[in-house]
Amino acid sequence: MNKLIINVLCAFLFSTVAFSQTINDLINKVSLDSLVKTVNEFSGEVPTVVNGNTVTISSRISNNNDVAADYIKQKFQQFDNLTITDQVYSANGRNIIATQIGKTNPNDIYIVCAHYDSVTSYCADDNASGTATVLEIARILSAQCLDNTIVYALWDEEENGLLGANYYATQASNNGANILGVLNIDMMAYDGNNDNNFDIDVLPIANSIAMKDDLLNVLSTHGFNLVVNVVNPGTEYSDHSRFWNNGYSAVLVGESWATSDRTPHYHLPTDRIQYFNLPYYHELAKFIFAYMVTKGGLVNVDNTITTSGSTLTANQSSATYQWYNCDTDMAISGATNQSYAPTFNGTFAVEVTSGTCTERSECTLFNTLGLSSFNSDDIILYPNPVENELKIELKVGGEVTMSLFNISGKLIVTHTLQQRKNSINLKDVPSGVYFVNIRTSQKTGTYKIVKE
Ligand SMILES: [Zn+2]
């Protein structure tokens, strides 16, 4: 009876389909750790490595900010699907721009941008905060196929009169570029009174008002913990106004000048990350990301995998495929069909190319090859339902690994178990149904538990 239940559970677990990523899944990838790391490096709080040299970015003043520009360029180079333009437009002027071409409407362009130059040292809020957010959005979105083109732009010489953005916007207008919206970020990490207020600055030029309305829709759809002030007529004292000058739709998003809650360290060398309101900064970055992914439009390519018995199958049909061994990040020679039967236990991914879109799946655990089931008294799990501590008692030898999956088959955590008695802390795991897979080199078993 026990064995039957376990087999049924195995069949359930290993045929579970993970769903393709939604906008919400992607919003949750916006990482505060990643933002903070970039701000610390970019505002000179900690050293970093640029072009193979350990450096501290101690200045971003425009006549001395090439290391900062190189840092941005190097970040973009780490991401897929981006074409990088190192736009030198004068002796001291240098924009760094990355373009992700839309798969459906390559000529429909949305821009997310920030200036990276500064007036003095540090200048974390003005505008390492916006620079780090543009880089974070690029990190996540560049892994997705999008309908429309996204331009990630970091401007130079904003502080000298919006020169970098002016150069780009004028050129774009002369070339007839179909820019549908420009979201400029300038100072976005200060909230001194914790009221979560932020500003959208707008003017009735082109479709800027409709763009503001789209932003308000995204704000309410995803329930961000933010309070908006629409400022109309909005300020012209940042890069978005150069797009207004050229007849394009544009807005500024940032901390709240409207409620007089902008950083008191404005244009001072005391503008440092220690004065950031980090939860506020994170929320505002997620909001801007949500707008960009909504406007980008996720191409519906299913990059998920179904595991059934000894076979992995890509859920996208009528595509071309390449399977990867995730442990080595190498393509598996000859593994180019929709299904793949691994010859060893490990983690695997598939790269799916459908039309002009190529996406790689997340890595999937495959561990059922040549394994038999445990005896019913080999493994005891209790209590079940469990509140905090799950006890696992073992009567098996060798190295024992435990993996916890949620009901969608997503791997939550993996532990190496001790012989005999183990206690697993599930305090931070949300309540619900989970599956515990336990395996040695010879045996495997999967057990359903309920977390209260
Ligand atoms: Zn600024």
Residue ranges per domain, the chain?
Answer: 23-296, 372-451
Cα of 129 from ligand 1 centre, angstroms: 10
CA of residue 158 to ligand 1 center, whole Å: 7
Question: What is the CA(396)–ligand 1 centre distance, in A?
Answer: 62
Compute, in angstroms, the gap from residue 249 CA to the centroid of ligand 1: 20
Dist. CA 182–CA 178, nearest whole Å: 11
Whole-angstrom distance, CA of residue 101 vs CA of residue 175: 17
The Å distance, Cα 376 to ligand 1 centre, comes to 65
The rounded Å distance from CA 389 to ligand 1 centre is: 49
Which residue, 175, 180, 156, 43, is CA-closest to 106? Answer: 180
Distance 117 CA to ligand 1 centre (A): 8
Provide the CATH topology of domain 372-451: Immunoglobulin-like (2.60.40)
What is residue 445's predicted lDDT score, i.e. its pLDDT?
A: 79
Give me ligand 1 centre to Cα 115, in Å: 7
**What's the CA-to-centroid distance between 39 and ligand 1, angstroms?**
14
The predicted structure's pLDDT at residue 407: 66
222 CA → ligand 1 middle, Å? 28
Q: What is the residue whose two structure tokens read 């009221």? A: 195
Give me the tens of pLDDT residue by residue for the chain, a chain 452 residues long: 344 444 444 444 443 333 457 899 899 999 999 999 999 999 999 999 999 999 999 999 999 999 999 999 999 999 989 999 999 999 999 999 999 999 999 999 999 999 999 999 999 999 999 999 999 999 999 989 999 999 999 999 999 999 999 999 999 999 999 999 999 999 999 999 999 999 999 999 999 999 999 999 999 999 999 999 999 999 999 999 999 999 999 999 999 999 999 999 999 999 999 999 999 999 999 999 999 999 999 988 888 899 888 899 999 988 999 999 887 889 999 999 999 999 887 889 999 998 888 888 878 888 777 777 788 888 889 999 999 899 999 888 888 888 887 766 667 788 888 878 989 988 888 888 888 888 887 788 778 888 88
CA 267 to ligand 1 centroid distance, Å? 8
Half-sphere exposure of 239 (CA within 13 A, CB side): 33
Q: What's the gap in Å between 189 CA and the centre of ligand 1?
A: 12
Ligand 1 centroid – CA 159 distance (Å) = 7
Residues forming beta bridges with residue 318, ordered by sequence position: none
**Centroid of ligand 1 to alpha carbon of 50 (angstroms):** 24
- Of the candidates 135, 87, 66, 106, the one whose C-alpha atom is nearest the C-alpha of residue 288 is 135
pTM: 0.76
CA of 221 to the centre of ligand 1 (A): 29
Could you tell me the distance, in angstroms and rounded to a whole number, from the CA of residue 51 to the centre of ligand 1?
26
In eight-state DSSP terms, residue 64 is G
Expressed in angstroms and rounded, the spacing between residue 235 Cα and the centre of ligand 1 is: 12
Q: Look up the CATH number of domain 23-296.
A: 3.40.630.10
Cα 157 to middle of ligand 1, angstroms: 10
**Distance from Cα 57 to the centre of ligand 1, integer Å:** 17
31 Cα to the center of ligand 1, angstroms: 23
Please give the biggest Cα pair distance in the chain. 79
Q: What angle do helix axes 208-221 and 278-296 make, rounded to 10 degrees?
A: 110
Q: Is 12 exposed, middle or buried (0-12, 13-18, 19+ CB in 10 A)?
A: middle
- Please state, as a whole number, how many other Cβ atoms lie within 10 Å of the Cβ of residue 120: 15
Please tell me the distance between residue 127's alpha carbon and the centre of ligand 1 in angstroms: 5
Could you tell me the distance, in angstroms and rounded to a whole number, from the CA of residue 344 to the centre of ligand 1? 54
CA of 244 to the centre of ligand 1 (A): 17
Distance 332 CA to ligand 1 centre (A): 48
Ligand 1 centroid vs 113 CA: distance in angstroms? 12
What pLDDT does residue 74 have? 97
